[in-house]
Amino acid sequence: MPLLWSGFPPYSSPKVSPTNPRILPYGTAAIAEAAALIRAGECVAVPTETVYGLAADATESRAVAGIYAAKGRPSFNPLIVHVPDLAAAERIALFDDRARDLATRFWPGPLTLVLPVRPDSGIAALVTAGLDTIAIRVPRHRAMQALLEASGKPLAAPSANASGSISPTRAEHVAKSLAGRIPLVIDDGATPAGVESTIVMGASILRPGPLSAEELGFEIAAPNGRITAPGQLDSHYAPSKPVHLDAAAAEAGEYLIGFGPVAGIETLSASGDLTEAAANLFDALHRADASDAPAIAIAPIPERGIGVAINDRLRRAAHR
């Protein structure tokens, strides 16, 4: 199998070629095509008022796994979910008075709220990285708004760049960074804000962004030196029982999660497909944790492609 891009191993992911992505100007045709791709479980790059996002159906774990695969993201950071309006957000997250006040004043706009996720949200566990909170926002940009309406889905969307590179503010940035990895970019020119949304939890700013503390009306100054850096969160999902990595077989009483040739009580991907395994990972860990077994064992996962991200999450899960 040929390498589609240098320094990155191939693995199964959307139907793309080295000449992709296509770039279509914003308009009815582009939105219809993008919505069809979203409903087929693929990712599409679309501008927001902050940066171009790489959007996928937030209710389908396999579609969300495709985002990580396309970005080559080395760990499963929780993603922001985009919805068309406050009513849609309230069906996914639990709002208190302060959150509702902020939403009323700044949505649609570059504000992300971290809130408790509703148990019946329908959002894939891979989006929240297994946390019981969710980051959610209502974007202002016409292209993202049109895609939300046409697809009828809540859309998970990190910045549309390969992991470790600069966030894209133009369609060309996306096409260069994700060449060969995604089918479509909707081009609506440069993004207005150019930096990612301000993330707020309670009365704290977790990530500074286009909306300042002063604009938000917070007493506190923007955090200085003690930012909870995106992706540096310690509060990732961790099972309540010991996790035994690189297990070729279950030891007495262990709940074995298999992969490839190692068949378990459940198996992340019998065919050894890493994207499928990533899509199933958090659900499998939750089931293993809820089982009667006193410990969890997990088959070896290859350290390549999105397997690096799976292993990162597994090491965190095993760390007690």
Return residues touching Mg ion (CB under 5 A): 159
Q: CB under 5 to 8 A by kind: which of ligand TXA, Mg ion, none does 50 bind?
A: ligand TXA
Which one of residues 42, 57, 187, 196 is an interface residue with ligand TXA (CB under 6 A)? Answer: 196
The residue nearest Mg ion at its CB is: 159
In the region spanning residues 128 to 147, those forming contacts with ligand TXA, defined by CB under 6 A, are 128, 131, 133-135
In the region spanning residues 19 to 78, those forming contacts with ligand TXA, defined by CB under 6 A, are 48, 50-51, 53, 77-78
Nearer to ligand TXA, 133 or 165 (CB): 133
Count of residues in contact with ligand TXA, rule CB under 6 A: 25
Q: CB under 5 to 8 A by kind: which of ligand TXA, Mg ion, none does 53 bind?
A: ligand TXA
Cα–Cα distance measured from residue 19 to residue 21, given in angstroms and rounded to the nearest whole number: 6
Minimum gap (Å) between residue 76 Cβ and ligand TXA: 10
230 in contact with ligand TXA (CB under 6 A):
yes
Nearer to ligand TXA, 145 or 159 (CB): 159
Minimum gap (Å) between residue 77 Cβ and ligand TXA: 4
Q: How many CB atoms lie within 10 A of CB 153?
A: 21
- Candidates 240, 259, 247, 235; CA nearest to 310 is 259
Minimum gap (Å) between residue 156 Cβ and ligand TXA: 8
Minimum gap (Å) between residue 227 Cβ and ligand TXA: 10
Ordered alpha helix ranges (H), the chain: 28-39, 61-71, 86-90, 97-106, 125-128, 142-151, 171-177, 213-216, 274-290, 307-318
Tokens 């949505």: give the residue. 107
The neighbouring-strand residues paired with 186 are 24
Strands 52-57 and 44-47: antiparallel
Sign of CA dihedral 122, 99, 144, 110: negative
The neighbouring-strand residues paired with 199 are 112, 207
Instruction: Decide: 144 and 154 in contact? Cβ < 8 Å.
Output: no
Q: CB under 5 to 8 A by kind: which of ligand TXA, Mg ion, none does 131 bind?
A: ligand TXA
The length of the chain, given as a count of residues: 320
Nearer to ligand TXA, 158 or 272 (CB): 158
In the region spanning residues 71 to 130, those forming contacts with ligand TXA, defined by CB under 6 A, are 77-80, 112, 114, 128
In the region spanning residues 231 to 290, those forming contacts with ligand TXA, defined by CB under 6 A, are 231, 233
177 in contact with ligand TXA (CB under 6 A):
no
Nearer to ligand TXA, 208 or 230 (CB): 230
Minimum gap (Å) between residue 115 Cβ and ligand TXA: 8
Instruction: Decide: 265 and 305 in contact? Cβ < 8 Å.
Output: no
Nearer to Mg ion, 159 or 191 (CB): 159
- Candidates 108, 109, 82, 97; CA nearest to 211 is 109
DSSP strands (E only) in the chain: 22-25, 44-47, 52-57, 80-82, 111-116, 133-137, 155-156, 184-187, 198-201, 204-207, 243-244, 254-258, 266-267, 295-298
Q: Which parts of this chain interact with ligand TXA (CB under 6 A)?
A: 48, 50-51, 53, 77-80, 112, 114, 128, 131, 133-135, 157-159, 196-197, 199, 206, 230-231, 233
